[in-house]
């Protein structure tokens, strides 16, 4: 199993970055984990966290859904508990599993425990807490039931037959047919089986079901675990075997070096509108003469297809797609040189100058919403499973808004510092073409994002959307 280390130096004390890194390496050695990458965050007063953004980029292109992100502790993940919660659910929304090296290996449970003890959040009175625990001991449902169940008589969980069939099907596909969680999501979506809310299945939703102990017939609430309170959907042996497989997936022993994809963040699927993500694979085979050979493949694939299998198999080899983009750039430059470029008239008033403020307000709104979910779970108003699903959804939305904010902020800075005329746009495009093979990847990608707003990719066409 692969492990990614994320270290953050807190302004409130705690272990140094060096000690966190040492603890991470010792843990990996002890548990025979393969080190995929490490990211260290220096303390910053302005809240900027470039290392975490790099970590997110790594996880986005990492196809192993069970990649572990190891941290010193849950509270070390962010500047405060709410920040830590945001980061926890953002990583889990991408398919990673966050594992604290102290405070237990259940990051969410550790977060909730800290949240309960925090003076600003989730502090229940002893009287209310005792009443909640009394209900939990009786197996009475607090909040929304997990998929496969409903709240029945005496506030106990009862089966929802059509959902229970799907739960058993998921466990059977994973355990008996040896399908991974991505392939299970694809199978369910292809068979038009919907989630309770009528949506498509994703890797995260499949994994949450496979890890939910409620399907053993055990009700868990407020650190109380009561078995036999409702009908089980899987046997204890099957559940244990599933957990063993989830926790110890077979991976190659070779260290993984994340590939750089020039069009990341710019290329979008022309059929569903989602981003294309860079994928790298290595295949090996044996020739007839017995010689073993291998080859590496790099390509861009629709993220909807990768995570939910809800879009077609729109895949383009990385070299071919990048060459097609270069060709379109050269065509545009030739057109400009022939005198048919855009008008050199000054642009109209840019209403997008206020976009960063709007996006920051949106982030604050999402944070308040996520905080309310956790607080509601701590207060017993919703189940942990319900809180988890809502928090994952909110965190995924925040990632999208963060990407948009980063782009909008760059655009505002560009517009305030550079001339906005046709000759300058032409010069940028020519400079990009001339530096296409430049070994400085980050410089090339920055220049590409400076020139292009978006790249729409279809199976037989590539459309460039230039910045003004």
β pairing state of 224-227 and 267-269: unpaired
CA distance 377 to 358: 29
User: In sequence order, what DSSP letters do the residues of 71-92 get, joined into one string?
Assistant: ES-GGGGSSSHHHHHHHHHHHH
Q: Is the per-residue pLDDT at 347 higher than 60?
A: no
Q: What is the mean pLDDT of residues 217-239?
A: 81
d(CA 414, CA 401): 20
**Range 126-247: architecture per CATH:** Alpha-Beta Complex (3.90)
Structure-token pair, residue 97: 């599993």
Where along the chain do the CATH 3.40.50.1390 domains lie? Answer: 2-117
Grade residue 257 by pLDDT with cuts at 50, 70 and 90: very low
Helix, strand counts (H, E) of the chain:
15, 14
185 vs 341, more confident: 185
Mean pLDDT lowest among 64-73, 124-133, 392-401, 419-428: 124-133
State the pLDDT confidence band at 345, using cuts at 50, 70 and 90. very low
Whether residue 250 is predicted with pLDDT greater than 50 in this model: the reply is: no
Reported as a pLDDT band with limits 50, 70 and 90, residue 132 is: low
Q: Which long-range contacts (CB under 8 A, 24 or more apart) does 222-228 make?
A: 222/129, 222/132, 222/133, 222/136, 222/380, 224/133, 224/136, 224/137, 226/136, 226/137, 226/138, 226/139
d(CA 16, CA 51): 16
How far is the C-alpha of 91 from the C-alpha of 68, rounded, in Å?
10
Q: Strands across the sheet with 68-71, in order?
A: 34-41, 2-8, 68-71, 97-100
Q: What are phi and psi of 160, to 5 degrees?
A: -105, 105
Q: What are the Cα distances from residue 319, in Å, to 57, 110, 260, 438, 455?
A: 20, 44, 12, 15, 15
User: Model confidence over 49-61: pLDDT tens digits?
Assistant: 888 988 888 887 7
Of 254, 167, 261, the residue nearest 217 (C-alpha)? 167
Q: Where in the chain is the domain with CATH 3.90.1750.20?
A: 126-247
Supply the CATH classification number for the domain 2-117: 3.40.50.1390
Where would I find the H helices in 248-383? 303-307, 318-335, 355-378
- Give the pLDDT confidence score for residue 252 in this predicted structure: 42
- Tokens at residue 226, please? 């009561």
- Each residue of 386-413: pLDDT tens digit? 999 999 999 988 988 888 888 778 777 6
70 touches 25 (CB < 8 A): no
> pLDDT over 70 for what percent of the chain?
79
Across the chain, mean pLDDT equals: 80
How large is the average pLDDT for residues 135-151?
Answer: 75
Contact at 8 Å (CB) between 166 and 193? yes
Q: What is the pLDDT of residues 201-214, one digit of tens each?
A: 888 889 889 988 88
Predicted local distance difference test score (pLDDT) of residue 10: 60
pLDDT number for residue 255: 40
Q: DSSP alpha helices (H): ranges in 418-460?
A: 422-434, 441-451
* pLDDT band, very low/low/confident/very high, at 283 (cuts 50, 70, 90): confident
Q: Is the pLDDT of residue 378 over 50?
A: yes
DSSP conformation class of 405: H
**Per-residue confidence (pLDDT) for residue 86, from 0 to 100:** 94
User: What pLDDT is attached to residue 295?
Assistant: 81
Provide the sign of the torsion angle of the four alpha carbons 212, 215, 216, 220, taken in this order: positive
Question: Does residue 344 have a pLDDT over 60?
Answer: no
37-51, 116-130, 163-177, 411-425: segment of lowest average pLDDT: 116-130
pLDDT reported for residue 387: 92
pLDDT of residue 292: 81
What pLDDT, in 10s, does the model give residues 73-125?
888 888 888 899 999 999 988 888 898 888 677 889 989 988 987 644 434 44
Q: Render 32-48 in DSSP notation, one character per residue.
A: T-EEEEEEEE---TT--
Around Cβ 138, how many Cβ atoms within 10 Å? 14
For residue 275, give the DSSP letter: B
CB 324 within 8 A of CB 462: yes
pTM for this predicted structure: 0.48
| pLDDT at residue number 167 | 95
The two tokens of residue 354 are 């206020």
Q: Distance between CA atoms of 3 and 256, rounded to whole angstroms?
A: 10
């Amino acid at each position: 199993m692969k492990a990614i280390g994320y270290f953050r130096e807190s302004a409130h004390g705690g272990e140094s970055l060096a000690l966190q890194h040492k603890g991470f390496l010792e843990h990996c050695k002890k548990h025979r984990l393969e080190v995929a990458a490490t990211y260290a965050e220096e303390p910053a007063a302005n809240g900027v966290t470039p290392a975490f953004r790099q970590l997110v980029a790594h996880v986005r292109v990492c196809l192993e859904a069970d990649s572990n992100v190891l941290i010193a502790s849950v509270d070390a993940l962010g500047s405060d508990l709410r920040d830590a919660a945001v980061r926890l659910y953002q990583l889990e929304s991408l398919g990673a599993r966050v594992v604290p090296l102290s405070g237990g290996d259940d990051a969410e449970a550790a977060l909730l425990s800290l949240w309960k003890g925090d003076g600003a959040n989730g502090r229940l009175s002893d009287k209310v807490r005792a009443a909640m625990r009394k209900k939990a001991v009786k197996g009475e449902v607090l909040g929304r039931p997990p998929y496969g169940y409903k709240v029945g008589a005496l506030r106990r969980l009862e089966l929802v037959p059509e959902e229970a069939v799907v739960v058993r099907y998921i466990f059977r596909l994973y355990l008996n047919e040896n399908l991974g969680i991505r392939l299970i999501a694809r199978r369910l979506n292809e068979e038009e089986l919907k989630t309770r809310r009528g949506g498509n299945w994703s890797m995260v939703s499949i994994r949450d079901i496979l890890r939910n102990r409620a399907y053993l017939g055990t009700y868990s609430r407020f650190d109380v675990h009561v078995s036999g309170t409702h009908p089980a959907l899987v046997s204890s042996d099957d559940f244990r075997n599933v957990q063993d497989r989830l926790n110890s997936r077979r991976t190659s022993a070779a260290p993984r070096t994340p590939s750089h994809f020039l069009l990341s963040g710019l290329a979008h699927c022309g059929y569903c509108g989602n981003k294309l993500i860079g994928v790298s694979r290595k295949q090996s085979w044996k020739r007839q003469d017995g010689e073993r050979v291998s080859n590496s493949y790099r390509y861009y694939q629709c993220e909807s297809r990768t995570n939910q299998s809800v879009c077609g198999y729109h895949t383009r080899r990385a070299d071919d797609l990048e060459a097609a983009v270069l060709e379109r750039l050269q065509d545009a430059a030739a057109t400009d040189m022939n005198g048919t470029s855009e008008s050199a008239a000054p642009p109209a008033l840019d209403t997008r100058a206020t976009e960063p403020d709007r996006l920051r307000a949106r982030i604050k709104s999402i944070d308040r919403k996520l905080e309310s979910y956790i607080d509601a779970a701590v207060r017993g108003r919703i189940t942990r499973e319900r809180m988890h699903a809502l928090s994952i959804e909110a965190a995924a939305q925040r990632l999208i808004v963060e990407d948009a904010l980063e782009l909008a902020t760059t655009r505002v800075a560009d517009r305030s510092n550079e001339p906005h005329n046709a000759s300058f746009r032409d010069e940028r495009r020519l400079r990009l073409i001339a530096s296409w093979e430049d070994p400085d990847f980050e410089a090339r990608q920055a220049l590409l994002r400076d020139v292009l707003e978006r790249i729409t990719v279809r199976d037989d066409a590539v459309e460039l959307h230039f910045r003004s």
